[in-house]
Amino acid sequence: MDNRPNKRFLEKRIGVLMGGLSSEREVSLKSGAAISASLARLGYHQIPIDMDADIALTLKREHLDVVFIALHGRYGEDGAIQGLLEIMNIPYTGSKLTASALAMNKIASDGLLKAHGLPLPKTLILTQEETKKIETLQLSIPLPFVIKPVSEGSSVGVSIVKSPEQIKPALETAFRFGTKILLQSYISGMEVHVGILDEKPLGAIEIKSKGTFYDYDAKYVPGMSKHIFPAPLPADVYQHVLDLALQAHQALGCKSYSRVDLLIDSEMKPYVLEVNTLPGMTETSLMPEMARECGIDFDALVEKILNTACTEHEDKSCPSR
């Protein structure tokens, strides 16, 4: 790759937002550090920023021309920081406010994806009051099932419940992150993730986790999962998975890049689980791995994402073309 910086961004101040206030802070710091190092290698003027409650003052003080968002989870991936950046007229990478908010809220995203005819696991939405009587409820989803928070990423707060005695601790874990939880049918099968870049699928990668499922440790601890690219699926199923992932990305209005998570059951039927609008960019993250397998090294990936900031946010603060 040509490592000379894009002329549009020469002398421009690029803020890399990382860290933040969510449960995924440590992962975000790693993503941000990797992105900052890449921008530095490419010759850009990058400014690492650890987001805190004073972020508006920090952004104003730094006089940024564009922001590369390396945040994960609440306040970074849910539309909050996107809204602030739009108010401040600062172009940023990734999806816009509405798509970010929809994708992060699993109730909202499930409803929209279903409306577009995409296949999803059967899901119940439960409040804390309703779950007090869960043992006596006539649930339409039998064991085993999955209990998860409504608005968390990186599998934070997710439990696979296989027996009645596991229900209470799983609920307690999920309710630490909100007042509503999702109870979802458990689909046993192949875990597949599709990277979307520039409105095109990069391909599908299979994940074989050493744990029960692709949880936080499997995502971010080296050696805790095995990745197979391309996913070993029949050609027609593979293409169907790519098509579903792109449809999910577009249904939520996502832009630039995303990662779509799916499960394939024993009958080769795929189910869409969720769309991640700011997928991890760490050494073990799937998005950089899929890009690399497609001939796009990490620096090229970072630059491609950076270049979309001004494509999606046309205003006077964008570098001249």
- Active-site position among 259, 271, 285, 289: 259
CA 197 – CA 321 distance, rounded (Å): 22
| Catalytic-residue membership of 105 | no
- Active-site position among 191, 261, 289, 303: 261
Contact 89, 55 (CB under 8 A): no
- Active-site position among 154, 225, 256, 258: 154
Token digits for 49? Answer: 């920023």
Contact 48, 33 (CB under 8 A): yes
- Active-site position among 15, 276, 289, 303: 276
Phi, psi at 237, each rounded to 5°: -70, -40
| Catalytic-residue membership of 154 | yes
DSSP state of 175: G
β strands within 20-65, DSSP E: 45-51
| Catalytic-residue membership of 253 | no
Token digits for 130? Answer: 């309703």
| Catalytic-residue membership of 13 | no
| Catalytic-residue membership of 261 | yes
Using a 10 angstrom Cβ sphere, with 0-12 exposed, 13-18 middle and 19 or more buried, the burial of residue 41 is middle
- Active-site position among 15, 32, 203, 280: 280
| Catalytic-residue membership of 238 | no
- Active-site position among 274, 285, 289, 303: 274
| Catalytic-residue membership of 259 | yes
Angle between helix axes 286-293 and 298-312 (nearest 10 degrees) is: 110
- Active-site position among 214, 220, 257, 271: 220
| Catalytic-residue membership of 220 | yes
Residue identified by tokens 């209470």 is 168
Is the Cα torsion angle 98, 115, 201, 18 positive or negative in sign? positive
State the catalytic residues.
24, 154, 220, 259, 261, 274, 276, 280
